[in-house]
Amino acid sequence: MAQIWDPSTKFKKWLDVELAACRVHYEQGSIPEADYHTILEKADFDVARIDVIEQEVQHDVIAFLTSVAEFIGPSSRFVHLGLTSSDVVDTAFSLLIRDAGSILIEDIDLLMAAVKTQAFTHKYTSKMGRTHGVHAEPTTFGLKLTVWYEELRRNRQRLSDALAQINVGKISGAVGNYAHMAPEVEEKVCHYLNLEVAPISTQILQRDRHAHFMSTLAIVAGTLEKMATEIRALQKTEFNEVIEPFGKGQKGSSAMPHKRNPIICERVSGLSRSLRGYALTAFENQNLWHERDISHSSAERLIFPDATVTLDYMFGLMTNVIENMTVNAEQMQENIGKSYNVFYSQQLLLKLIDKGLLREDAYRIVQRNAISAFEERISFDQKIKADPELTAQMTDIEIDAIFDASKYTQYVDYIYKRVYG
């Protein structure tokens, strides 16, 4: 990923655009055959030389073209024929983003595979589901992972869509009016570069495309942060259900040798905030003066390399966490027991309604017993069987039937089939 954003790669993409334009001009008879072959044979650049020239001319494309001309010689007069700088820069930028995006797609695939593997390993690993941070009803760790898997799949589609939106080029001139070359040149250049043609452009490609891509990266990072935050929460000492990888020689605290801190997931959470900031900058870049100004350029040189490199790094971190995390299934089961079975409250509520009680009355009875069981630290079924108002409605056998844990996993196979096929 870092190599994609290296200056040498950027200038190589610029040269690809220039050579594609030369090819079209040659095919249309605008460049003599001898000059065209000289261009193909000698076209090159020197990054250090470009830097030196740019210090003087204060224009990166002119510095690049000057360096290329020094390699080609007199035939270089046909390079950049009828083009404006943004024809080259924006079209090449799309190529760079496409390459970066392809790596991110591979990253998503690797993480999805890791999540899926763990989801099937823990398909029936029971754990307490929590809402508002409070015990709700049991679920399985596999279902939690499957939620992540499906969200990652949506993110993969989002990223593919965003890449399709930005997989465009423009060779339309200084204000997008094709004053110095026909639209057919643009169409052929883009074809040779495997890009779509922007149906209309100004001097630049419109930045809604880039904002879409960057906002997608922020959404993807948000998913990784969501996963990381959950693992951090489950690693709390009071939970001890999932623990991120901890190396043999790793240390958690300079003062407290016992600490095993979830620093990888915390790193992912922090970096996700940066991605959201980059998305905001991309939104700001949509608004430019007239046919373009250059206010977006300096920001894009920072946010696109940094955002894609950062997200690539985050994917590596989370894939490692998912593949190598410790899942304490026994602790999950023990934590379920800390609710004293009060999570069966909804099953009891529905049974009482089925018996003919008004919902409000049934709710009052169940809530009273559930709160009492939790406060007294005795099993919910014991409280129920000691409540005359309940035993008047149900036998002990009917009460025992309510405490059926299989209800919480009865559709796991169905959900897995719906998600994984």
Mean pLDDT for all residues in the chain:
95
258 catalytically annotated: no
Which residue in 8, 102, 253, 295 is the catalytic one? 253
Which residues are within 8 A (CB) of 364 and not within 5 positions of it... i.e. 6 or more apart? none
- The pLDDT score that the predictor gives to residue 250 is 77
144-199 pLDDT, tens digit each: 999 999 999 999 999 999 999 999 999 999 999 999 999 999 999 999 999 999 99
CATH fourth-level superfamily of 86-335: Fumarase/aspartase (Central domain) (1.20.200.10)
Q: What percent of the chain is modeled with pLDDT above 90? A: 92
CATH 1.20.200.10 residue window(s) in the chain: 86-335
Is the pLDDT at 335 greater than 80? The verdict is yes
Cα 39–45–49 angle (5° rounding)? 140
Sequence-distant (6+) residues with CB within 8 A of 256 are: none
Q: Specify whether 253 is catalytic.
A: yes
Q: Which two tokens stand for residue 226?
A: 């969501």
SS3 state at 199: coil
CB 310 within 8 A of CB 218: no
Q: Which of 132, 254, 258, 406 is catalytic?
A: 132
Residue 308 has pLDDT above 90, yes or no: yes
Per-residue pLDDT band for 394 (boundaries 50, 70, 90) equals: confident
One-character DSSP codes across 340-355: TTGGGHHHHHHHHHHT
DSSP state of 75: G
Using pLDDT thresholds of 50, 70 and 90, give the confidence band for residue 309. very high
Q: Residues 63-117: pLDDT tens digits?
A: 999 999 999 999 999 999 999 999 999 999 999 999 999 999 999 999 999 999 9
Provide the 3-class DSSP secondary structure of residue 399: helix
The domain 342-402 is placed in CATH, from the list 1.10.3470.10, 1.10.40.30, 3.40.50.970, 1.10.600.10, at 1.10.40.30
In the chain, which residues fall in CATH 1.10.40.30? 342-402
CA 213 to chain centroid: 11
Out of 1.10.275.10, 1.25.40.10, 3.40.50.300, 1.10.8.60, the CATH code matching 3-81 is: 1.10.275.10
Which of 244-258, 308-322, 349-363 shows the highest mean pLDDT?
Answer: 308-322
Instruction: Collapse the DSSP code of 132 into the 3-class scheme (helix H, G, I; strand E, B; otherwise coil) and give the result.
Output: coil
Residues 15-74 have pLDDT tens digits of 999 999 999 999 999 999 999 999 999 999 999 999 999 999 999 999 999 999 999 999
Sorting pLDDT into bands at 50, 70 and 90, what band is 253? Answer: low
Distance between CA atoms of residues 167 and 90, nearest Å: 11
